[in-house]
Structure formats: C-alpha cells, structure tokens
Amino acid sequence: MPIVRRKTRKVIVGDREHGFVGIGGDAPVALQTMTSTYTYDIDATVKQINALHQGGADMVRVAVPDKRDTVALKEILKQVRVPLIADVHFHYERALEAIEAGIHKIRLNPGNIKDRPKVEKVIAACRERKIPIRVGANEGGIVERQDKGQRAEEKSALEQDYQGQMTAIMVEKLEEYLRIFADSDFYDVVLSAKSVDPEIVLSAYRECSHRFDFPLHLGVTHAGPPETGRIRSVVALGALLAQGIGDTIRISYAADPIHEVEDGKELLQVLGLRLRTEPELIACPTCGRIEIDLISMMAEVRRRLKQIDVPVKVAVMGCVVNGPGEAEGSDVAVFAGKHKGVIYVSNNEGVAEQVATVPEAEILDRLFEEVHKFADRVRRGEARLKNQKVEIKPPDPIGELGSGWGKIKKDGIALPVMR
C-alpha cells in the first residue's frame, strides 16, 4: 500500500528563475543537500551546486558564516537554476544579507540565535520577500550555553536519561522559538530536530509530528562517512518516512555531497515517494552456486547503466535457482549458469521472453544491446516499463545449462534444481 503522508502546512521555496519547490501539504518529499565549498569561492560553489542539482537535489544549502559569503550569493544565484538555502549561525546579520541577495530560504538555529529582536528582524525581512524559514534544532547546539543555571539543569537531566531528555529539550526549545513566529504572525516555517542518535531522531520527529502542523525536514546530523552513515541515516529516515512523517530530507555524510543526493534519492524511490528517473539494478546475493564472475559483472553493469536515461529495471542473477523469482518485475534480465547467460526481455504483455543464450564473455555486450533496444522502444512508446510483478518462466535447465540440471514443477511452472 502507498505511504499515507502526514498532513502539514505547505511552504514554497524558490522563484521563477530558479524554480519552485513545495515542502509539505500535497507536495512530494523534497530532496536537499549542502555544499562543502567555501561559499565565497564562487566558481567552486557554482560548480558543485550545479552538479548536485543535476544529480537530483531539489534544493541546495550553502554556509554563510562570513559577510564575504553573503556577498558572493548574488553572483552565485545568477549562475544556478535551483533554489538555494542560507545556513545561518550566530550572526543574524548574515540572514539579512542573504535575504537581500535573493536567497530562497533561511535556516536559523534556536540554539545560537536566540535574541528576540534579532529573530524578529529576520522574520520581518522574510515576510517582505515571501521567504520561508527553517527552525533547525540540533543535538550539538541545543543545550543552553549562556545561562549557567539552566545549563546545569539541562546537563543534570541528560545524565539521568540522555535520549528522553534530549528529545524533550529539542522539542521544548522549538516550541519556545515558535512563539516568536506566532507573535509575528509568520507561519512559513519548516522544523527539524536532528541528532546523531537514530533513536533520538525517531522520538524527536514523532513528537514534533504530534505537536506541530509545520512541515518537517528530516536528517541525522554528523552521521559520519557513507560506509557507516548511510545505515545510521536510513534506519531513522526510512522509518519516519514509512510512517508518513517527513516533507524534505537531507542525508548528511563526511564526504562529497553528491553521495548524499544519490542515497537520498534512492531512499525516496524505494519507498515510492519519488519517481525513478534512472535505471534500477537488482542482483542476487553471492553464494556457492554462482558459476560466473557475478561481482565484476555487476560492477560493469552499474557503470554502463549510467549512460541510460530511461528508468529500465535490469536484473543480474548468478544462477537459475532463485533467479526467475527474484527478477520478477525487471524489464531486462540475465540468468547465468555453467558460464553462460540466458537473457530475457519484457514483452508488451508484461511477460519476460527469452531472447538469447550467450557464453559468459558475451553476456555484457548482449545484455546492453537488449537494454538499449528496450529503452528505445520505451522512448518511441512501443514498450512500457514494468509497474507490476509478472511471471518469468525459467530457461529449460537441461537444454540451456547442461545435463547436471533437472527440473520439478510447482504450480505449473518448471523450476530448475540440481540433480
């Protein structure tokens, strides 16, 4: 069943020149990331923003710690075509300068910009330009720093129950901050409550979803390198999104931000929250039945698929035991065995038909010949991409794979088995 999204207010980010992105309401979940360049380095920042946008980012956030960064924004905005967000910490003046430069959204941290008159100035400037604000609570900066008495109380509470109290502190600080916005009659607001701990992320966002009707920006902060950070991130974000919680996401890595876009896009696609726009590769797990170099083949298939601009689903299976069942729903598939590959292509009725049996050395070239032909048929309207599971009849195990294979029948379908 499709995910039922939580109902929220809707805010609009962008302009005619850079495009509009909806967050919340009936808008699809938006994907964003953040540049790793120094924003004042205009050429490097523009290059990265454009690469991230081309990679699938709906919005891109930039850091503006210094005035030279906000000065650079006007020129950067001339050279990109995607909505930009200014990440503001400590100095509210950077927010005002970014707004004047034409930024499309502001991120404020209630942990380090708390002075009410300053916040009100930012709100007034955003109202005039119709610019939304994200109020971003963050585990690393939400505990009180200036009031020593309050800091001691919060620290003591955290020592007793860190996860529960950190959730409570973040939500409470968001609530306090939002009173300023309510008093200013400003509601173009997005909320976030990030932590490095997936359990805190889950509890904080669930609590926010109960208390507020503002759209939520999901994220796990300082998650680490992609190798470990993607697990930490997907555990929390995937669970929340599957519950209908979350209106825009950023996966955060200590790496090139293009990986954030790639993994964020894949997460939304597998949950059915974003249409797939590039090919999908599925492959069987490796095991002792494999009779070809599946790992090397899969890596090469993945590389070549980057040249295809149609979301063809390709299955690479190392044997015929589970291959037919595991590859159901693919547009083009190869089942390998005895150093051969049996290639299937979906016909117009949604049934995969065997089109070739080739030796292992020819599998890749023939597979991609069929992938390209199928993609061309889709472009011409002569074939459609799979949108439901179909029956794939396995190859004749004796005729195609040799005398070492036999077959049984289950529900009228021939299944290959080892003798």
Question: Considering only the top CATH level, what class is 10-270?
Answer: alpha beta
Q: Does position 114 have pLDDT exceeding 50, yes or no?
A: yes
Q: Does position 392 have pLDDT exceeding 60, yes or no?
A: no
The one-letter code for the residue type at 244 is G
Say what the pLDDT of residue 326 is.
62
Say what the pLDDT of residue 94 is.
95
Tokens 């997907």 — which residue?
234
pTM for the full predicted model: 0.85
Region of poorest pLDDT, from 19-23, 327-331, 382-386, 412-416: 412-416
97-122 average pLDDT score: 91
290-302 average pLDDT score: 84
Nearest alpha-carbon partner for 266 in 52, 44, 15, 56:
56
Region of poorest pLDDT, from 76-80, 159-163, 328-332: 328-332
Domains 10-270 and 280-418 share a fold: no
What percentage of the chain carries pLDDT values higher than 70?
90
pLDDT tens per residue across span 136-146: 888 777 776 77
Tell me which of 181 and 148 has the higher pLDDT: 181
Say what the pLDDT of residue 323 is.
61
pLDDT tens per residue across span 205-253: 999 999 999 999 999 988 789 998 999 999 999 999 999 999 999 999 9
Say what the pLDDT of residue 406 is.
38
34-38 average pLDDT score: 96
Confidence of residue 391 (pLDDT cuts 50, 70, 90): very low
Confidence of residue 318 (pLDDT cuts 50, 70, 90): confident
Say what the pLDDT of residue 348 is.
75
Question: Considering only the top CATH level, what class is 280-418?
Answer: alpha beta
Q: Does position 405 have pLDDT exceeding 60, yes or no?
A: no
Tell me which of 330 and 181 has the higher pLDDT: 181
pLDDT tens per residue across span 362-372: 999 999 999 99
Averaged pLDDT of the chain: 87
Domain segments of the chain as ranges: 10-270, 280-418
Confidence of residue 262 (pLDDT cuts 50, 70, 90): very high
